[in-house]
């Protein structure tokens, strides 16, 4: 089994509970914890309803929400059911997202004991003012305790999430966050730029002029600082926002999203993808539980991706990866000759330093400079008619 075989399938499990909603977040979660037990029952039932898939699964990912609000024995029950119902590879990557302030050191040890082998810690920052601005429940000290606790519990595959581009943040403040994260020697780092998602309290405050968002030029500088700092400290960038100590420490699960690999999602709002079909569950926990109680899959909507949509996604997702898009795969999948159709554009973008052609693999990737312009460059490859 190849550690990064992108065509094996993944399982995503959405745990829709959080202690408190963070001001910038638009992931589906609720703070009412009273539905936890009926939710777990429904989730296991949903897995039973779709069991028997022909895929070999090599990732199991608990995301949310805050999966660490569930007791380890409940996570253990879900894992056991997954193993009983699906064809799961022996070297499966089992990840849990954990938020500081929601776990004890005993809990971390139990997660390790039930077979979880990768932990992703939502530290976001080591600056208490920044954490406060984001509406996080934890302090920098909690993040420190959780990361050390995970290492002590025996995790040798730890990821830390950080956010940059927070109003008032300077380059020095961001460098200090990066430096503190690197001192823990995590195997993986995700550095996301703060975005203002429609409908979030943070977006409302921005519209009301309650703070001044970071200027575009500083955002670009922070992004370049991230790449510079992490690559000089032993991390390899493999996706716009993701860095790993080596290829075996990439997020095998998330890599599937960028590589058009199949995955099944369970839980409210979870998406599933089996090319060319995508479908997703309803968001409401109550509706989700009721649907399953009545013997119906909680699917809200399905779509069959058209050729145009497949092209758009393959280009957008592919260009997020540092090894870029696989032109042979696009040609085969869509029945086109990508290199020929876009020969002029590729040549121009390469001359201007935005794109790199990776030969002999027949791949095309963004340069560091190009990564700043993903949203302008990707649409240039979608101007063909089918
Ligand atoms: S803890 Fe995560 S999922 Fe929950 S509200 Fe905050 S950002 Fe969203």
Show me where the domains of the chain are located.
Answer: 9-258, 311-381
Does residue 2 carry a pLDDT above 50?
no
Beta strands in 54-176 (DSSP E): 57-64, 88-98, 118-124, 158-164
Coil, helix or strand at residue 185 = coil
Other beta carbons within 10 Å of 168: 11
Distance between CA 268 and CA 275 in Å, rounded? 21
Instruction: Give the pLDDT confidence score for residue 386 in this predicted structure.
Output: 64
CB neighbour list of residue 342: distance below 8 Å, 6 or more residues apart: 380, 381
97 to 19, 23, 106, 160, 305: CA distances (angstroms): 14, 19, 16, 10, 30
CATH topology of domain 9-258: TIM Barrel (3.20.20)
- The whole-number pLDDT of residue 382 equals 82
Whether domain 311-381 has CATH 3.30.300: the reply is no
Q: Is the pLDDT of residue 1 over 50?
A: no
**Residue located nearest, by CA, to atom 7 of ligand 1:** 25
Burial of 322 (0-12, 13-18, 19+ CB in 10 A): buried
Residue in this structure with the two tokens 């400290």, named with its chain if needed: 233
- What is the 31 CA–ligand 1 centroid distance (Å)? 10
Q: Which two tokens stand for residue 358?
A: 């990776």
Tell me the pLDDT tens digit for each residue of 310-359.
999 999 999 999 999 999 999 998 999 999 999 999 999 999 999 999 88
The tally of CA atoms less than 13 A away on the side-chain side of residue 143 is: 25
- Does the C-beta of 66 come closer than 6 Å to ligand 1? yes
Q: Which atom of ligand 1 is nearest to the CA of 26?
A: 8
The kind and range of the H/E element at 190 are strand 188-193
Percentage of the residues of the chain whose pLDDT score is greater than 90:
92
27 CB within 6 A, ligand 1: yes
What is the overall mean pLDDT for the chain?
95
Tell me the average pLDDT across 193-222.
96
73's enclosing H/E stretch is: helix 72-85
Mean pLDDT, rounded, for 71-83: 97
Tell me what pLDDT residue 73 has.
97
Answer whether 29 contacts ligand 1 (Cβ < 6 A): yes
pLDDT attached to residue 3 = 39
Residues 89-99 have a mean pLDDT of 97
Residue closest to 23 by CA, chosen among 197, 193, 192: 197
Of ligand 1's listed atoms, the one at least distance from the Cα of 24 is: 7
Residues 174-184, mean pLDDT to the nearest whole number: 98
Answer whether 190 contacts ligand 1 (Cβ < 6 A): no
Q: Say if strands 118-124 and 158-164 run parallel, antiparallel, or are unpaired.
A: parallel
Mean pLDDT, residues 286-314 taken together:
95
**111 contacts 119 by C-beta, under 8 angstroms:** yes
Residue 267 predicted with pLDDT over 50: yes
Q: Please report the pLDDT score of residue 4 as a whole number.
A: 41
Strand 271-274 to strand 277-281: parallel, antiparallel, or no bridges (unpaired)?
A: antiparallel
* pLDDT at 7 (0 to 100): 78
279 Cβ contact list (under 8 Å, min separation 6) = 271, 272, 299, 301, 302, 303
Q: Is the pTM of this model over 0.75?
A: yes
Question: Is any atom of ligand 1 closer than 6 Å to the C-beta of 64?
Answer: yes
In sequence order, the 6+-apart residues with CB closer than 8 A to the CB of 379 are: none
Per-residue model confidence (pLDDT) at position 281: 98
Ligand 1 pocket test: which of 15, 30, 31, 65 has the largest number of ligand atoms within 8 Å of its C-beta?
65
Distance of CA 340 to the CA centre of its chain: 33
Q: Tell me the two tokens of residue 268.
A: 């409210």
**Number of other CB atoms surrounding residue 85 within 10 Å:** 17
| Candidate from 156-170, 232-246, 360-374 with smallest mean pLDDT | 360-374
Selected residue with higher pLDDT from 2 and 210? 210
* Partner residues linked to 366 by β-bridges: 355
Average pLDDT of span 208-224: 96
Residue 6 is given by DSSP the state: T
Q: For a ligand 1 pocket test, name from 20, 21, 70 the mutation site with the most ligand atoms within 8 angstroms of its C-beta.
A: 21
């Amino acid at each position: 089994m190849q550690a990064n075989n992108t065509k094996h399938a993944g399982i995503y499990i959405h745990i829709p509970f959080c202690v408190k909603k963070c001001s910038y977040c638009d992931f589906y979660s609720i703070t009412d914890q009273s539905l936890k037990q009926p939710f777990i029952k429904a989730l296991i039932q949903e897995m039973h309803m779709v069991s028997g898939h022909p895929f070999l699964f090599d990732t199991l990912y608990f995301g949310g929400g805050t999966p660490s609000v569930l007791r380890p024995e409940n996570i253990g029950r879900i894992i056991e059911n997954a193993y009983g119902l699906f064809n799961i590879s022996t070297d499966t990557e089992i990840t849990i997202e954990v938020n500081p302030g929601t776990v004890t050191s005993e809990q971390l040890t139990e997660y390790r004991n039930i077979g979880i082998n990768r932990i992703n810690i939502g530290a976001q920052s080591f600056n208490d003012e920044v954490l406060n601005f984001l509406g996080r429940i934890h302090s920098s000290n909690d993040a420190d305790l959780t990361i050390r606790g995970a290492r002590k519990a025996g995790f040798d595959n730890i990821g830390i999430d950080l956010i940059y581009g927070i109003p008032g943040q300077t380059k020095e403040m961001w460098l200090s966050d990066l430096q503190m994260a690197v001192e823990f020697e995590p195997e993986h780092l995700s550095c996301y730029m703060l975005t203002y998602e429609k409908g979030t309290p943070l977006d409302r405050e921005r519209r009301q002029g309650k703070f001044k968002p970071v200027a575009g030029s500083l955002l670009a500088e922070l992004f370049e600082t991230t790449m510079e700092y992490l690559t000089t400290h032993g991390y390899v960038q493999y996706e716009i926002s993701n860095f790993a100590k080596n290829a075996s420490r990439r997020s095998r699960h998330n890599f599937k999203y960028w590589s058009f690999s199949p995955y099944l999602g369970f839980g409210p709002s979870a998406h599933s993808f089996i090319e060319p079909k995508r479908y997703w569950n309803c968001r409401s926990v109550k509706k989700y539980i009721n649907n399953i109680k009545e013997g119906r899959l909680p699917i809200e909507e399905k779509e069959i991706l058209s050729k145009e949509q497949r092209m758009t996604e393959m280009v957008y997702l592919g260009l997020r990866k540092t090894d870029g898009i696989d032109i042979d795969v696009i040609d085969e999948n869509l029945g086109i000759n990508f290199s020929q159709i876009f020969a002029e554009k590729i040549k121009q973008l390469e001359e201007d330093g935005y794109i790199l052609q990776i030969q002999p693999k027949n791949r095309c990737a963004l340069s560091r400079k190009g990564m700043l312009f993903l949203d302008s460059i990707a649409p240039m490859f979608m101007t063909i008619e089918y």
